[in-house]
Chain A
């Protein structure tokens, strides 16, 4: 089981460069996302966090360099992503999960079982028939997590999933991310909330100006960051 689930890991980015027009969004990025960990991508605004996440998820093709998923250059199935602003279809809450499951080939009774389980996991079972777009921002983000949960992904990418949520909704999202990780899903997440990274991260990839300045275990990063840029950011937070 463990081996079967690990076809797309580790994710290795080699010499990745992403340019859009004249702007270089990522440059010379070498990073390895190991299995089972919660890797957090940190950095100031505009440092390329979201771009790196999209490259690792295969949503964005690098201008130069390559990404390997479990040693292969073809993007694997078994990944899911939760965006900063959840995108829900004009269907019921359950209908949104059913749609995602159908796309990954899960239908019928198995799909219904997973929908029920996932909605229960995020505490939305009572809203299953509600229009997804009529839910509150926090509920929609939990629904997005339920959608990801139902797919039982090998890797879950999260792009600042709590950026527009209040503290209690943020806590709910963090708890769900913890549960998804505990079930054996590798987590790759961006945030600009350092306290959140401290609570959840196993290791930190620090980006500055489109370059990786360090990739260290979280505990070490918050105690003694190696790069000057990370030191500056952490000091700014303490003020």
Chain B
């Protein structure tokens, strides 16, 4: 208990004084996970919308696979990306292993299925409601999908948060493809894992606190934006 409270005090000190080491780690975490969320959104949202409004053979199977992929174990994703990017791997010549880019790729692979599966559900529900009206107005399924992507924007914002939350909190994939190199690929979660095993509990706890606080602030901001926009646009 005393270890905990002491560590917490030191942790607060690190945060309050914007310790450069800690700040660097936090910023890299944000950069990697926000980029991954953005890239995954560019892939996942249109994919989800397209699956929601189109009918083709094997659609049900694809939905089942997509839903199952929401539970991909990060270490397995990390391992696969590692094998692809390692020097002997098919993409080894890109030289991306142990770089932040490799971490972005791994997190993108991890959360794109989440964004696709959740947005498919959101848009499929909306399509049930809008289909006849949009068809009557002359919208094609493709145009309808784009319309619904915009019209369900508040629900999709929550979907994006779910993806970002998964990305910034995972440790298994980034530690394998990033290598946890100090100053290069060390992010909050990998640092927490490392410092805990080394016994530097204040830094680990400081990062843990920051991680939770960041997630909380982001969700509060999103919630506020959402209620404001709902009041404004219905």
Contacts and interface: CB of A to CB of B under 8 A. Distances in A.
B55 interface: no
Interface in B116-148: 129-130, 132-139, 143, 147
B153 A90 contact: yes
A133 B135 contact: no
Contact of A103 (B143, B153, B154): B143
A164 to B, nearest CB: 16
Contact of A87 (B133, B143, B153, B234): B133
B147 to A, nearest CB: 7
A103 B138 CA distance: 6
> Interface extent on A, as a size class?
20 to 34
B200 interface: no
A223 to B, nearest CB: 35
A132 interface: yes
17 contacts: A57-B136, A59-B135, A59-B136, A80-B137, A83-B132, A83-B133, A87-B132, A89-B130, A89-B151, A90-B151, A91-B151, A99-B147, A103-B139, A104-B138, A131-B234, A133-B233, A134-B233
Contacts of B134: 87
Nearest to B229: A90
A100 B154 CA distance: 22
A131 B154 CA distance: 14
Given A90-B233, A133-B233, A134-B234, A81 B143 contact: no
> Interface extent on B, as a size class?
10 to 19
B150 to A, nearest CB: 8
A89 B146 CA distance: 12
Interface of B: 129-130, 132-139, 143, 147, 150-151, 153-154, 232-234
Interface of A: 54, 57, 59, 77, 79-81, 83, 87-92, 99-100, 103-104, 131-134
Contact of B234 (A77, A90, A99): A90
Nearest to B234: A133
Given A57-B136, A59-B136, A104-B138, A87 B233 contact: no
Most chain B C-beta atoms within 10 Å of own C-beta, residue among A54, A92, A100:
A100
A69 to B, nearest CB: 14
B24 to A, nearest CB: 40
A7 to B, nearest CB: 15
Nearest to A60: B132
Given A81-B133, A132-B234, 20 more contacts: A59-B136, A77-B138, A79-B136, A80-B136, A81-B132, A81-B136, A87-B129, A87-B130, A87-B134, A89-B130, A89-B147, A90-B150, A91-B151, A91-B233, A92-B233, A100-B137, A103-B138, A131-B232, A131-B234, A134-B233
Contacts of A88: 234
Contacts of A103: 137-139, 143
A89 B234 CA distance: 9
